[in-house]
Amino acid sequence: MPLKPVKQLPSTYYDSTSKVNPVLTAFEQEYEEFCKFSLKRVEEKNQNALPEDDVYARGSNKLYKLWNSYMHRLPREYFIEKLMELGDFLCSLKEYEIALYQCYETYFAFTNIWIPDDKFQDLDALLATGHFSSTVDDAHTIRALIGAASCKFRIITWNDRSLQSKHSVENITQLLIQLRTASQLCLPLERLCWLVYNTTVHIYNICRHVMIYGHSRMALEFLLWASCCLETSIPLLSIRYLSWRSTLYVAVCQCYLDLKDPVHAEVGSGCNEKKDG
């Protein structure tokens, strides 16, 4: 007679029966093992010492199995935070594909959130999707949107670094629109100023890349918006962020120079110096 599979109990089963929660303990151990695996893999990649049979799917499959084993056994908020935390960690290792598909997009699947690209064109249209209501989950959703956009940009430029394809440029424009709209959601809430800041960083990184390959006109609109975000968010007006505001202003001026518009470049630089001085 074949053995019956043992039902895996959720973490809540042990909350009132044990001081140590075996589900959380087991998950955290496997989670740390995956982080160590990822670090080792990146080190080997940098040293050109990866095994010949190593492929992207190896890491992706390990993470898929981890999430699949625990996602319905862990507290919802805890699991989502781990998704976001690991996505950011993988991005720091430049493991963008795994971060995108196994972290940020897993978040959207787990929460049943699907937002068509055309909903990002207008803030009212995005709010009409019903996925935003000033809750903690909103912050996670915006964080996932930002992370996914950044990963998609890296994947696009891996395949078409110099943006020779019109399709690549259109996709990057859509990602910038997504980041801009995400920051619009955060701006009214001071507690989400850190997400506004993160959004401006991603906008800047994308724009600097497209400027190198002759798309300063496209970049200008979004760099101006990023600058406005810092000027509109009261927490980001502090002296702590002065250097970052200056960086954005310089990028805006460079766009004007690229577009053969030195007058606007000089006026913009002068106004910002006066404002910050």
Kindly report, residue by residue over 40-93, the tens digit of the pLDDT: 888 887 777 666 556 567 788 999 999 999 999 999 999 999 999 999 999 999
Instruction: Report the C-alpha gap between 169 and 177 in whole angstroms.
Output: 12
- Choice among 106-115, 126-135, 211-220 with the minimum mean pLDDT: 126-135
pLDDT band at 5 (very low <50, low <70, confident <90, very high): very low
pLDDT digits (tens, 9 = 90+) for 88-128: 999 999 999 999 999 999 999 999 988 887 778 778 778 77
How far from 1 is each of 4, 27, 29, CA to CA, in Å?
9, 31, 34
DSSP3 helix / strand / coil % (the chain, rounded to 5): 75, 0, 25
Domain covering 11-276, topology: 1.25.40
Q: Which residue has 């991603």 as its token pair?
A: 202
What does the angle CA 236 – CA 237 – CA 238 come to, to the nearest 5 degrees? 90
Q: Per-residue confidence at 230, pLDDT binned at 50, 70, 90? A: very high
Distance CA 132, CA 143 (A): 13
| Arithmetic mean of pLDDT over the chain | 85
